[in-house]
Chains A and B, each alone.
Chain A
Amino acid sequence: MKCTFIVYRFDPAVDKEPRYQEYMVEAEPTDKILDCLNKIRWEQDPTLSYRYSCAHGICGSDALMINGRIELACQKLVRDFKTANNFVIEPLPLFKVIKDLVVDMNPFFEKHRTVRPYLISDEDPPEKEWLQDPENQKFFEPALACIMCGSCTAACPINRSNDKYLGPAALLRGFRYVADSRDTATGSRLAQLDNEDGAWGCKSMWWCTDVCPKSIPLTKSIAQIKRLIKEEEKRKTAGS
């Protein structure tokens, strides 16, 4: 069947302003949106740029705005949309466009770095594995599904108003290490997140959770950080 694709185009070398270009694509209902973009590029217009690699929602390359909603192009099929076979494809919002659908994700990864996304332990590791309660692993397991696609952070309204806000993805990573029983830096991690640019920046607007292609309960995970911060405070005041 015929589908119309209206695609955002911007080449800094020639364009002053972004523009939209229309393509007709012959597609199956089961084709992924990524397949359609590939058809445009291979059969009609090789100058179109976008990122992709795994093609099944695991590498995090191809988060885009599809018909006004953030989605992974490789995880949505033509038949998933009730838009009369018309598609508007735009780059991920919030980030600066480099070319066409390719955006600069550096600020996203910079924030990721600041949460110290690695295990910190002041204990020497045992000869074999550290023992860990399976319930503890289950508690933070949902956070492990993150593919760093940036959808959540791009969708978050708070992120748009405060560019210092860590954003849901980096907070999720923070949560993953705060919750891991093997990590001994919990106190300083919580202290780092205990401010308006950290966990308290989240006003539970649920946009991140809504768009996450891996169905990660982001808002709840951020709420867990807030809960842990409060518990830590209580413990401190009780102790003093």
Chain B
Amino acid sequence: MKHQFDVIIVGAGLAGLRAAIELGEDTSVAVLSKVFATRSHSGAAQGGIGAALGNEEEDNWEWHMFDTVKGSDYLGDQDAIEILARDAPRTIYELEHLGVPFNRTPEGKIAQRAFGGHTRNFGEAPVKRACFAADRTGRVILDTLWEKCLQGGIRFFDEFQLMSLIVSEGQCHGVIVYELASGKLHTLHSKAVLLATGGYGKVYKTTSNAFASTGDGLAIAFRAGAPLEDMEFVQFHPTGIYKLGILISEAARGEGGVLRNNEGKRFMELYAPVIKDLAPRDMVSRCILEEVRAGRGIDGKDYVHLDLTHLGEEVLNTKLAEITGFARTYSGVEPITEPIPVQPTCHYMMGGIAADADGKVITDSEGTPFPGLYAAGECACVSVHGANRLGCNSLLDTLVFGRRAGKEMRRYIHTVGFSPLPANPEKEAAAKIATLMESNGNETGGPIREELQEVMMDKVSVFRNRSGLTEALEKVRELKGRYQKIAIQDKGNCFNRDLLDAIELDYMLDLAEVITLGALAREESRGAHSREDFPDRDDQKWLVHTMFRYSKEEGPQVFFKPVTITRFQPKERKY
């Protein structure tokens, strides 16, 4: 079936919906999502969204900008970070006007709380900058934006999975999608396509991400010629529930929670004397693993305790209600009286489809755009998070740059007409499905996926070194070989998860390879990328963005892009 819209938005998380709202008033736009829109993983965001409103104490956008630059270990592009920090207060007021039910201060303003790495006066002490609605901030923003889209009559294709981009002569003009309920392919012809497909934490074994977080948009764009940027930077959040990876928000420490080792000691005091438990995530995750290595994990195991018992029942049951529930349900712990067992969990991808601050996908180090193709949200790398994202900056990123991408697409579509579709645009996607469905190979996806997640967790997570990374690369490539012999057992056309799992596994294998290649290439330690064999940051050589371009014959090809530095020169990063 064929449809035509000026703009197609792939992804109904915060980034996609914000762009849709921007365009909805005067542009024909469709939003497609492989899960029903409100099931998007933005709804899982807990702790808050950052903006220097100064509602609780003095704050300003320059401090926010500085913290983000420093948090990024100076790899973030400062022109984009300036946009993010300056536009943050407007973004929050806009959400509030749309109806987002933020928690309030006694005088009725939007309440704010402390979050990791956010400080006042360039690092002096933690500052209350995160706006929140209990610990369901993502849920309420997602619902509000979705409902705004319903009000605006925006067309949704729920449970439609992106299969490929329609690209001819280097220009994108639509997408091919697979309808889950019928197994049919649809051609969506457009002038512009926005990818807002979120993260890909499922490449790792332990993660706070959803099953849907498989990086489809990145892998599809990569194959279509868009470079991926800074993929080696993978954020491990310090406090995932032990063994499960379910997130206990940084808000828990923002409200006063502390980490303790097996001696009951608040160990972050040693590593980050000024902001302690509110140090950025890359540091805290490393500190936890250092404690574990020194034999100070709980019961000698690979986890520590997150102690919230001193916060009192009132705070736990109101401001941290969801995570308190998670701890009760999944680890059988009562946070009012007992500490929660936690360990680092794969949480967020700093890397992504290389894009500029207007959402335009770029194809080289000069920023030459890929006409018709846009990216925003976690799947994009603008780059505002550099080597390490600060908490509550991602929701902000999705909204600031989702809106900007919307504005830019509106401008763009008036400058071009609909290009004619290539003959039989569905051919490639149909062939891919047919090959999988008809294969009588002797592999199934399950074991390949498990082995992939395990090797990435073992060798390409918080600490890395050359030999481990080399082993991981070999393993990923072996798995890619095995993938060629994969067979599908479900031959049906209705909610065929077997087929979709196999398709997603292909994407994850591609992304794992690029993450590992980037980690091998970058011979330094910066932000979330910590090389045991290169423990120092090397600004001489590595103050650059790593870029990978797809090549069918030779595999991913590396090149580099300069970092934009405006206000803040790189300095040693201490907290």
- Residues of A whose CB lies within 8 Å of any CB of B are 11-13, 30, 41-43, 46-47, 49, 51-61, 75, 77, 98-100, 102, 105, 113, 116-119, 125, 127-134, 137, 140-141, 144-145, 147-148, 176-177, 180, 182-183
How far, in angstroms, from A12 to B110 measured CA to CA in the complex? Answer: 51
| Residue contact A129 to B109, C-beta cutoff 8 Å | yes
Q: Chain B residues with Cβ under 8 A from A176's Cβ?
A: 101
| Residue contact B494 to A134, C-beta cutoff 8 Å | no
B493 within 8 A of A: yes
A128's partner among B93, B133, B139, B144 (CB-CB below 8 A) is B93
Q: Chain B residues with Cβ under 8 A from A147's Cβ?
A: 38, 43, 139
A53's partner among B101, B140, B144, B211 (CB-CB below 8 A) is B211
New contact pairs (12) apart from A13-B494, A129-B97, CB-CB < 8 Å: A30-B330, A53-B211, A54-B39, A57-B325, A58-B136, A59-B41, A129-B92, A133-B104, A141-B133, A144-B136, A147-B38, A182-B99
How far, in angstroms, from A81 to B496 measured CA to CA in the complex? Answer: 30
In the complex where A118-B147, A119-B99 touch, is A60 in contact with B497 (Cβ < 8 A)? no
B 74-119 contacts with A by CB, 8 A: 92-93, 96-99, 101-111
How far, in angstroms, from A219 to B246 measured CA to CA in the complex? Answer: 30
Nearest Cβ distance between residue A75 and chain B, in whole angstroms?
A: 6
- Residues of B whose CB lies within 8 Å of any CB of A are 35-36, 38-41, 43-44, 53, 92-93, 96-99, 101-111, 133-134, 136, 139-140, 144, 147-148, 150-151, 181, 210-212, 244, 246, 321-322, 325-326, 329-330, 332, 444, 446, 488-490, 492-498
| Residue contact A131 to B489, C-beta cutoff 8 Å | no
Closest-by-CB residue of A relative to B45 is A58
| Residue contact B246 to A56, C-beta cutoff 8 Å | yes
13 CB < 8 A contacts A-B: A30-B332, A47-B490, A47-B492, A58-B139, A102-B495, A118-B99, A129-B96, A129-B97, A129-B110, A130-B96, A133-B104, A134-B111, A137-B102
| Residue contact A98 to B181, C-beta cutoff 8 Å | yes
Q: Chain A residues with Cβ under 8 A from B322's Cβ?
A: 58, 145
- What secondary structure prevails in chain A residues at the interface with B? loop
How far, in angstroms, from A82 to B451 measured CA to CA in the complex? Answer: 34
In the complex where A58-B44, A133-B104, A134-B103 touch, is A105 in contact with B39 (Cβ < 8 A)? no
In the complex where A53-B212, A54-B43 touch, is A137 in contact with B99 (Cβ < 8 A)? no
Q: Chain B residues with Cβ under 8 A from A11's Cβ?
A: 492, 494
Closest-by-CB residue of A relative to B449 is A42
Q: Chain A residues with Cβ under 8 A from B93's Cβ?
A: 125, 127-129
Q: Chain A residues with Cβ under 8 A from B325's Cβ?
A: 57
How far, in angstroms, from A61 to B102 measured CA to CA in the complex? Answer: 25
Q: Chain A residues with Cβ under 8 A from B35's Cβ?
A: 51, 53, 59, 61
Nearest Cβ distance between residue B237 and chain A, in whole angstroms?
A: 14
Nearest Cβ distance between residue A146 and chain B, in whole angstroms?
A: 8
Nearest Cβ distance between residue B209 and chain A, in whole angstroms?
A: 9
| Residue contact B99 to A132, C-beta cutoff 8 Å | no
| Residue contact B495 to A53, C-beta cutoff 8 Å | no
In the complex where A105-B36, A113-B150, A144-B133 touch, is A119 in contact with B43 (Cβ < 8 A)? no
Q: Chain A residues with Cβ under 8 A from B497's Cβ?
A: 41, 46, 49
Q: Chain A residues with Cβ under 8 A from B321's Cβ?
A: 145
Nearest Cβ distance between residue B20 and chain A, in whole angstroms?
A: 14
How far, in angstroms, from A47 to B492 measured CA to CA in the complex? Answer: 8
| Residue contact B43 to A59, C-beta cutoff 8 Å | yes
Q: Which of the listed residues B108, B325, B496 has the most CB atoms from chain A within 10 Å of its own CB?
A: B108
Nearest Cβ distance between residue A186 and chain B, in whole angstroms?
A: 14
In the complex where A53-B212, A129-B110 touch, is A98 in contact with B41 (Cβ < 8 A)? no
Q: Chain B residues with Cβ under 8 A from A183's Cβ?
A: 99
How far, in angstroms, from A61 to B497 measured CA to CA in the complex? Answer: 14
Q: Chain A residues with Cβ under 8 A from B490's Cβ?
A: 46-47
How far, in angstroms, from A130 to B99 measured CA to CA in the complex? Answer: 10
Q: Chain B residues with Cβ under 8 A from A51's Cβ?
A: 35, 39, 495
Closest-by-CB residue of A relative to B208 is A56
| Residue contact A53 to B210, C-beta cutoff 8 Å | yes
B44's partner among A59, A77, A119, A145 (CB-CB below 8 A) is A59
| Residue contact A56 to B326, C-beta cutoff 8 Å | yes
In the complex where A99-B494, A129-B96 touch, is A144 in contact with B147 (Cβ < 8 A)? no
Nearest Cβ distance between residue B297 and chain A, in whole angstroms?
A: 20
| Residue contact A144 to B139, C-beta cutoff 8 Å | yes
| Residue contact B108 to A132, C-beta cutoff 8 Å | yes
How far, in angstroms, from A75 to B328 measured CA to CA in the complex? Answer: 11
Q: Chain B residues with Cβ under 8 A from A118's Cβ?
A: 98-99, 144, 147-148, 150-151
Q: Chain B residues with Cβ under 8 A from A58's Cβ?
A: 43-44, 136, 139, 322
Nearest Cβ distance between residue A113 and chain B, in whole angstroms?
A: 6
| Residue contact A117 to B150, C-beta cutoff 8 Å | yes
How far, in angstroms, from A121 to B210 measured CA to CA in the complex? Answer: 35
| Residue contact A12 to B36, C-beta cutoff 8 Å | no
How far, in angstroms, from A98 to B139 measured CA to CA in the complex? Answer: 27
Q: Chain A residues with Cβ under 8 A from B99's Cβ?
A: 118-119, 177, 180, 182-183
A131's partner among B39, B109, B181, B495 (CB-CB below 8 A) is B109
A98's partner among B108, B444, B495, B496 (CB-CB below 8 A) is B495
Closest-by-CB residue of A relative to B35 is A53
How far, in angstroms, from A163 to B184 measured CA to CA in the complex? Answer: 31
Q: Chain B residues with Cβ under 8 A from A47's Cβ?
A: 489-490, 492, 498
B134's partner among A43, A55, A141 (CB-CB below 8 A) is A141
How far, in angstroms, from A128 to B151 measured CA to CA in the complex? Answer: 23
| Residue contact A144 to B140, C-beta cutoff 8 Å | yes
How far, in angstroms, from A140 to B99 measured CA to CA in the complex? Answer: 13
Nearest Cβ distance between residue B48 and chain A, in whole angstroms?
A: 14
| Residue contact A55 to B211, C-beta cutoff 8 Å | yes
| Residue contact B101 to A144, C-beta cutoff 8 Å | yes
In the complex where A46-B488, A118-B150, A130-B96 touch, is A99 in contact with B104 (Cβ < 8 A)? no
| Residue contact A133 to B134, C-beta cutoff 8 Å | no
Nearest Cβ distance between residue B53 and chain A, in whole angstroms?
A: 8
In the complex where A55-B210, A137-B104, A145-B136 touch, is A60 in contact with B498 (Cβ < 8 A)? no
Q: Chain B residues with Cβ under 8 A from A98's Cβ?
A: 181, 494-495
